[in-house]
Chains A and B, each alone.
Chain A
C-alpha cells in the first residue's frame, strides 16, 4: 500500500493536470468563492419611476423609496413605454408608476394606488424589491391614514413579529457558500480518484487505496482551508459542532472516492468515468434541495435525491453551521453517508 502511494506521487509529478487538480485548482476555486461571497448584499437594485404627478408628495415618496436598502431609483421615465424599455434592456429591475393627481387624492384622504411592475425573471431581485416597496408604501399610507383619524388597528389589524431563524440577516454567503465550497471538495475528489484508478495497470484493494491516498490527503488539507475561509473569513455562523462538520466532510471525501473507484473499474475508461462522475457531482447540488425543496419534486426525483451522499452532507452542514441543532440529530445522516463507502462492493469482482 505504501509503495503504491509512493509510486502514485511519482505518477502525479509527471502528470501536470493531475498535479494541478490536487493543488492549484482547489485553491483557485476557494479563492473564487471567497472573493465572490465576501460582501454579497443585495443592495441598491436600480428601478425606474414614472411620476405622473410631479408633486411634493410624490417626490417625498420617491425619496423614501430611494432611501431603502435594496432599491435605488436610478431612472425616471416619462411614460410606461419608456419604463418598459428600461426593464427590457436590463437596466432597471422594476418600474413604479405614481398616478396623476396622487397628491390630490392624498390631501383629500381618498384611497389611491401606486402601481409596481416587477421583473419576475429573477426571483431574488423580485423578492427584495417587492418587500421593500411594500414596506415603504404601507408606512407612507399608514402615516396618512393616522392623520385622517383611523386607528392603527384598522389599518394594520394584525402585526407580524418576525423571527428570522438561523440566518437572521438573510445573508447569501451564509446560505450558499457552505454548499458551493464542499461541492468543490466533492468534484476534485472524484477527478483525483478517477485519475488514480481508471486505465491503470495492477489492481488489488491495497494498491487502489495507496493510489487514492494522495487525493485523500490533498482534499483533507483543502477541507481545513475551506473551514477557515467559511467560518472566519466569510463569517458564516457556526452554531453547532465543527467536529461534526469535519467528520461529515471526511466522509464526503471517502464516499466520493469509493464512488470514483466504482466508476473507474466499471468503465475502465478515464474520460467516461470523469464525465459520469463529474455529472453526478454537479447534479448533487440540485438534488440536495437547498435552493428548491425536494418535497416539491416528483416522487421519483425525491427518491433520486437519496442516491447522492451530498444530500445528507448538506443537511448536516445546515444543521451544524446555521441551525445549531444537538449533535444527536446529525448522527443518523452521518450513518447514511457511511453507507456510500460500500458502493465498490457492486463491482467486487473487478477490485
Chain B
C-alpha cells in the first residue's frame, strides 16, 4: 500500500513538472500575482492628494486656515485658481481631486463671533480620493478649535493603525489567488493525467497521493508567501505561528480536494481555466473582505460558504491580522474540515470521465512536453 502511495506521488510529480502550463499556473502565477498586487499597494496610504484652493477672503484668517491645510499630509494644495470654472476643468482633467472654497465673508464672520464656513467639493468617483481629502481638511480644521468640546470621541484604529490599503485587501487577495490558481492548475493536471493513467489504483490511495503531492508544493508556496513575502511588504503577523499554520493548512487541503472533485467535470485541459478565471472577482466579493457581508444579500454569502475561500479569508484575517486564537475561528475551521470531507467523498465516488476525442482537437496534447514560450 505504501508502495502504491509512493508511486502515485512520484507519478504526480512527474506529471506536474513535465507540463509547463501546469507549472505556470500552479507555481509561477501565485508568485507573480502576489508580487504585482502587493507592489501596487506597497505605498499603503495615499497621501498628498492634489486639490485646488479658491480663496475669496484674502484675509489674515484665511491665510491662517491655508497654512493649516498645507500642513496636512493627506492633501496637497497644488493649484490656486481664481474661480470655480477653472477649478472644475482641473478636476475634469484629473489634475485635482477636490476643491476647497473659502468665501469672502470668512473673516468677517469670525470677527463678529459667528461660525465660519468653507465649501469642500469632493471627488466621489474615486472613493479613496474622497476619503483622504475629507480626512485632510477635517483634520486641519480641528486644530482651529478654541474651546475644548464637552464630549469628545477619542478614536483608536485596531490591527491596521495607518488604515493601509494593502494590509486591508492583500490577505484576502493572497488567499483567493492561491485558491483560484490551485483550482486551475490541479484541474489541468488532472485532465492531462487521465491520458497517462494505466495502472489501476484504489481511489482512496490515489486521492491521498495527490493530496500529499500538492500539500508539499503548497507548504513551500505558502511558507514563502506568508513569511518572506509578508515580511517584505510589512503585513501584520499578529497570529501565533501554529494557529496560522492550522488555518492555512486546512484551507489548502480543502482547496486541493475541491480542485480534484471539480476536475471530474472537465473534459479538456482548458476547461478549468475557462471555468475559473472569470470567477475570481465574484469569489473575492463573496468572501466579504472588501465589502462587508452586511452590504450584500445574505443568501449569496451563504452560497459562497461552499467555497473554501469564504470561510478561510475571515478566519485568516482574524488570526493573522487581529491575533485571534484557534478557538476564536473554530466555526470557520469546522466548516473547512466538513467541506474537505464532502469534496473528498465526491472525488472518490465520482468516476473519472472518459476521454473524448473530437475532430480538430487531437488527444495527445502537444504542450505536454512543451517548454514555456
Residue positions of A touching B, CB distance < 8 A: 11, 14-17, 20-21, 25, 29, 32-33, 35-38, 40-46, 85, 87-90, 93, 106, 109-127, 130, 133-134, 137-138, 140-142, 144-145, 148, 150-168, 170, 172, 175, 180, 183-184, 187-188, 191, 195, 199, 266-267, 269-272, 274-275, 278-279, 281-283, 285-287, 289-293, 295-298, 301, 315, 318-319, 322-323, 325-326, 329
Contacts and interface: CB of A to CB of B under 8 A. Distances in A.
Contacts of B165: 123, 291-292
Given A116-B154, A187-B277, A89 B328 contact: yes
Contacts of B161: 120
Given A150-B147, A275-B21, A88 B323 contact: yes
Nearest to A125: B292
A158 B324 contact: no
B157 interface: yes
B92 A118 contact: no
7 contacts: A41-B295, A111-B151, A113-B151, A119-B157, A120-B161, A140-B151, A283-B36
Contact of A156 (B115, B370, B373): B115
B269 A141 contact: no
A112 B153 CA distance: 9
Given A17-B268, A270-B269, A282 B277 contact: yes
Contacts of A142: 149
B125 A323 contact: yes
A272 B373 contact: yes
Contacts of A156: 115, 145
Interface in B132-169: 134, 137-138, 141, 144-161, 163, 165, 167-169
Contacts of A133: 153, 155
Summarize A's interface: helix, strand, loop or mixed: helix
Contacts of B156: 115-118
Contacts of B154: 113-116
Interface string B266-299: 0111110111011011100100011110111100
B208 interface: no
B147 to A, nearest CB: 4
Contacts of A319: 92
Given A158-B116, A161-B117, A119 B145 contact: no
**Highest count of chain A CB atoms <10 Å: which of B36, B188, B295:** B295
Interface string B97-129: 000000000000010011111111111111111
B233 interface: no
B47 interface: yes
Contacts of B25: 271, 275
B279 to A, nearest CB: 8
Contacts of A37: 296
B33 interface: yes
A55 B333 CA distance: 41
A112 B292 contact: no
B120 A161 contact: yes
B157 A120 contact: yes
A165 B123 contact: yes
Contacts of B146: 154, 157
A68 to B, nearest CB: 13
B54 to A, nearest CB: 13
A165 B127 contact: no
Contact of B159 (A119, A145, A295, A326): A119
Given A153-B113, A164-B124, 11 more contacts: A14-B358, A123-B160, A124-B291, A126-B163, A160-B119, A164-B130, A271-B188, A274-B270, A274-B273, A275-B29, A282-B281
Contact of A89 (B24, B274, B324, B373): B324
A337 B148 CA distance: 55
Contact of A145 (B29, B150, B157, B277): B150
B102 to A, nearest CB: 10
B337 interface: no
Nearest to B101: A161
A191 to B, nearest CB: 6
A139 B255 CA distance: 50
A271 B372 CA distance: 11
**Highest count of chain B CB atoms <10 Å: which of A140, A157, A175:** A157
A293 B126 contact: yes
A191 B275 CA distance: 10
Nearest to A305: B40
A121 B40 contact: no
Nearest to A95: B158
Contacts of A151: 113
The 7 closest A-B pairs by CB, nearest first: A120-B160, A141-B151, A278-B277, A120-B157, A167-B124, A137-B153, A88-B324
A271 B269 contact: yes
Nearest to B171: A121
B270 A270 contact: yes
Contacts of B322: 87-88, 119, 121
A46 B41 CA distance: 28
A117 B148 CA distance: 22
B318 interface: yes
A183 B291 contact: no
Contacts of A272: 20-21, 24, 367, 370, 372-373
Given A120-B159, A121-B168, A188 B278 contact: yes
Contacts of A111: 148-152
Nearest to B166: A292
B277 A269 contact: no
A176 to B, nearest CB: 8
A272 B314 CA distance: 32
Contacts of A295: 46
A151 B119 CA distance: 21
Given A160-B117, A282-B277, A293-B128, A116 B153 contact: yes
Contacts of B116: 153, 157-159
A29 B163 CA distance: 31
B118 A160 contact: yes
A95 to B, nearest CB: 9
B65 interface: yes
B241 interface: no
